[in-house]
Structure formats: C-alpha cells, structure tokens
Structure 1
Amino acid sequence: MKYQEIIPIKQLQPYVQYFWIIEDMSNNIGVHNYKIIPDGVPTLIYQDIPNHLTEQSSTHKSPLYVYGQFTKYTNQVIDGPYRIIGVYLKSTALKALFNIDASEFKNKNIALEDLVSSSVLEQLLNAITVEEKVEILSTFLLSRVTAIKYSNQKAVYASDLLKQGKELKEVQLEMNISERSLERIFKEHIGMSPKFFSRIMRFQSSLNLYRNNAFENLTDLTYQSNYFDQSHLIREFKEFTGVSPKNFLHKAEEQLINYPKIKE
C-alpha cells in the first residue's frame, strides 16, 4: 500500500486536518480485510478506483460520500487494485460544511449528491492526476465554507477540552453552560453525545499508547488510559476494533491510522 498526506490550504484548515491518499495498483493484490475504527472524526471519501472495494456500512453506489461519526467499527473488503482519496475533517466540520446537524450523519455513509447539488463528482471523474482531484475537492469545500459561514467555535472549544481528558462537569463549568446545552452542541456539531465522544477520545488515547508501545503491560495501559480495570479496557477495545488488545497488537497493520488491515 502506498500512502501519502497533503496539508489543506490555509482557508480550509479550521475544517480539514489533511487529505490522505491510499492506493495499491498491483494486479496480484488479492483480498484484504480492513477495519475502520471510530475516532470522533468524519471523512469525505472519494473511491477513485472503486470497483474492488466493499463497504459494510454503505447503502449507496456513489464513489463520493461523507463517512459520518461512527460509534462502532465497520469492515471494508478490498479485492484488487484500488485508490482512495480521503478528506480527514475536523470533528466539528459537518454542520459548518453542509448546514445539516451532524447527528444526521451518525453511523451513516451519505452520498454527496444527496446532500448538495454540485458537479464535483463529474469533475473528479474527468480529472487525471491525484493532485487535480485534491484541488477539485479543496475548491468544493472552500465554496461550502464561503456559502454557509457558520460559527462552530463553542463546539470546537468543547471538543478540544474533552480531547484533553477533561470530565464533562469540568467542561460545563469552564464554558458556563448546562448539561442540556452541551448535549445540544454535540448533537448539532459533532453528531454524538459528549459522553460517547469522551469515550472515543479515551479509547484513542489508549490506542496511541498501544501504537507507540508506551506501556509495560495491560495493567499499566489501563492505568494510563483511566479505565476502571483491565476488563473495562478489553471491552472497549473489542467494541471499537472488533478484536482484543492482544490480537490488535499482533494482527493489526496500520499504515493509515484507524484503518488497520487485520491478518488472519
């Protein structure tokens, strides 16, 4: 697999973390099973060479779609050559880009053509190089930001506090808002409850420790990640990856983060 990242233009950086491209054009690639792990971040996906890719969560045929906030892992099977271009958004970007509550995207893939009227798919199909396709996606997203001009600063601040490991009560106190108001902000801008978002952030923190081998044993990983006990950590791993921590360590190959290939 070949993997690369492209930094977005400055105007898009409040909404887009980066563009990523994964591809393998070899004819003898065979069948590979991937898992998509919840990370609290939506993504705009363009399956540039889509014929050999099956998405468990897809209910549409479009190669261009928004992958919303997922609360559980999903499976993806690739059989043959492929190229996928992803726009890794910010956690709070969906409302700002599409003027639709992010909760409408929860656990869904939605074809872009069902969200907005745009010629972007036709432009992508006619473009030759990856660079041209990234530029087309950039121009489209910039047009959305310019047209909507929606402020999501409260959501950005609240999500940043939870990413830092703050408790929900601490976030409410720091922002001087009620529990109900915090719930509304998260439903509208992020697509899930602040409690569940906090769960995903804690799991991702433990996963980063795991990836960097920054722990001595499962007990140490449990303590560093603020889980109650090992069984709690193992349950979260299985819910969000489909495998135990031990199996993830020995069987998962991650070139694109949160998109591991699981060896049989």
Structure 2
Amino acid sequence: MDALAAWSLTGRVRINGGDTMAEDEQQQGYTQWAPPAAMADAVDAFWQFWVPRHPQQGAPLRRQHRVLPDGCTDLIFDFHHAPGPAWLASSRLGIVGPMKRFVLVDLEPGAVSLGVRLRPGWAQALLGVSPRELCGLNVTVQDCAPALAQLQRRMEDCATPAHAMTLLQDTITQRWTSFRDVAKPRAVHALAHLQSCEGQVRMTALAHSLGVSERTLHRDILDEAGIAPKLLARVLRFQRAVSLLRANGGAALCDVALECGYADQAHLSRDVRELAGVSPSTLVG
C-alpha cells in the first residue's frame, strides 16, 4: 500500500470517534492535520476553524481573529453550523491568496471553516488560479476558478462536516496526483530553498545557485508564489520568529532575532508590528 492509499484509510479527520461533529469543546477553536508525506512539498496542512456558539464559562466570545501572512494560498469552505439533519447554512467555497500583512477576520458564533493551505508555488497547479492575481484577496471559486464550483456543490451535499472535510482531502489528493508535474521546476526549487532556510538567504546567492539572474528569479517567484521573493523571505522569517516566540513565551527577543537572521531585537519588533499589526508581546501574550 502506497503513502496516498494509506492516507485514504488512516489520515482522515476523525471526530469523536465517528463522522459527527458535535458542537462541544473538542470542536471549538483551530485544529490542523498534516498531509501525507508525499504531498508535504505542496500542502502545508488541512485545517478546521470552529467558532463556538456560546462562550465558555467566565470567558467572553472573541470577536475577531488575527490571520498572519505565511506566503500560502488557501482553499476554504465556510458555513454556519446548524445542529441537526441540516448541518450547514450560508455555505461558500473561496480561495484566499497570499497576504502581505495581517488581516482581522470577524468571528460569528457557530461559523465553521474547513480548509487546505497550499505552500507557495502550488496554487496554479492544484487550483488552476494565479496567486499573483489573488494576492491579498478572498474570492469565491465561481469568480476565480469555475472548475471548482462542482466541489462546492458536492461538499454541500455531504451528510456531515466530517464527510465534507474528507471530500476536500480526497479532492486535493487527486489533483496533486494529476497535476504535480505542472509546477515549474525552477520556481519550485527556488521556493523549496526559501522555505527550507526559512527566508534566511540573499536573493543574489539564490539566483546564482539556480544559474539565473536576480531579475529572472524575481519574476519566477512572483508568478508562482504571488509575492516577490524578498517579501516572501521576510514573511517566512517572520513566521519562524513567531513560532519560536509562541513555543517559548519566555524566549528573549534578542535570542529569537539572532536565530532568525534579524539584525537586532529592534529589527524583529519592527517586522512583527508591520506584518502582524501588534507588538511581539501582544501577539504571543
């Protein structure tokens, strides 16, 4: 049995031991699942974001969620959870392009999002859309990828949200199998290097390693990732810093700045404020 076949049997979303998605504490908040190893270069994660219908005791309902730039493109199925046989209302399948800075999303009680996050360079191959044209946008599939409109109808026809997530996983797996060779090798290699070093590379050095001019590198990455290589490197470095700060709330800013390639602590703080809209301490607090 190959890795993708194993994924089809064991990598599914399993919620409360079955296919129901009861509105309880287990479902509230954000959860993500890794793709099969064979798809890891193209897919960062499958994920679910569930807004509770009622606040937990003593805790107010959050009104907004801060989404940080990560260089990725997401395919997202949004709906309002309706307990009972009619489990969804106000459904929408959309594509969110790569972002240059944070976005604040209003949270509505009972809202649910099921999504797949595609790594830079794979939106064109797997979704048939140009990330460059969708940079900073949230567009319905009817407006940017009509071929995916049928997927929305099929997800709406699923018996439960868990079935809808399984269908999303199956669809992306099938598209990856069919279109994995469509991505441009030179751009894929450049983007893979940028991600593996978490943005800590000079564009002149990267262009030289690929045997192209810096101008050609800029065009390749802008076309395939939707944002310029220097900005993408900055976003990847920022994501690494945020990950370290969140993993260790007591980590000194100067140590994180040094590990992530910032000039100094002030440089890190300035980048966080510009990309996240708040200070490092507020972001991880």
Q: Does 1:74 align with 2:103?
A: yes
Identity of aligned residues (%): 23
Deviation at 1:70, TM superposition (A): 0.3
Structure-2 change in CA distance of 1:131 and 1:224 (3 Å): same
2:186 counterpart (132, 139, 154): 154
Deviations 1:117-154 (A, max 9, x none): 33111111121223321232234435544268513332
**Alpha-carbon distance between aligned partners in 1 of 2:37 and 2:259, rounded to the nearest angstrom:** 35
**Alpha-carbon distance between aligned partners in 2 of 1:20 and 1:108, rounded to the nearest angstrom:** 19
Runs of at least 5 residues in structure 1 that lack an aligned partner in the other structure = 52-60, 251-264
Deviations 1:59-96 (A, max 9, x none): xx972111110001000111312221011112211111
Structure-2 change in CA distance of 1:231 and 1:135 (3 Å): same
Q: Does 1:26 align with 2:53?
A: yes
Contact 1:45 1:85 in 2 (8 A): yes
1:135 counterpart letter in structure 2: T
**Alpha-carbon distance between aligned partners in 2 of 1:74 and 1:96, rounded to the nearest angstrom:** 26
Deviations 1:10-51 (A, max 9, x none): 775543232111224433474422100001111111113289
What is aligned with 2:79?
48
What is aligned with 1:17?
44
1:128 counterpart (151, 154, 159): 159
Structure-2 change in CA distance of 1:214 and 1:177 (3 Å): farther
**Alpha-carbon distance between aligned partners in 1 of 2:172 and 2:53, rounded to the nearest angstrom:** 32
Q: Name the SS for the 1:20 alignment partner.
A: strand
Contact 1:218 1:230 in 2 (8 A): yes
Alignment: residue pair count: 241
> How do 1:175-186 residues align onto structure 2 when only pairs under 5 Å count?
175-186=210-221
Structure-2 change in CA distance of 1:18 and 1:148 (3 Å): closer
Superposition CA RMSD, Å:
2.6
Contact 1:95 1:188 in 2 (8 A): no
**Alpha-carbon distance between aligned partners in 2 of 1:228 and 1:10, rounded to the nearest angstrom:** 35
**Alpha-carbon distance between aligned partners in 2 of 1:8 and 1:142, rounded to the nearest angstrom:** 9
Q: Name the SS for the 1:231 alignment partner.
A: helix
TM-score between both structures, scaled by the size of structure 1? 0.80
Asked which structure has the greater RCO (Cα within 8 Å, sep 6+), the reply is: 1
Deviation at 1:98, TM superposition (A): 3.5
**Alpha-carbon distance between aligned partners in 2 of 1:139 and 1:216, rounded to the nearest angstrom:** 40
Q: Over alpha carbons, which structure has the higher Rg?
A: 2
Q: Name the SS for the 2:212 alignment partner.
A: coil
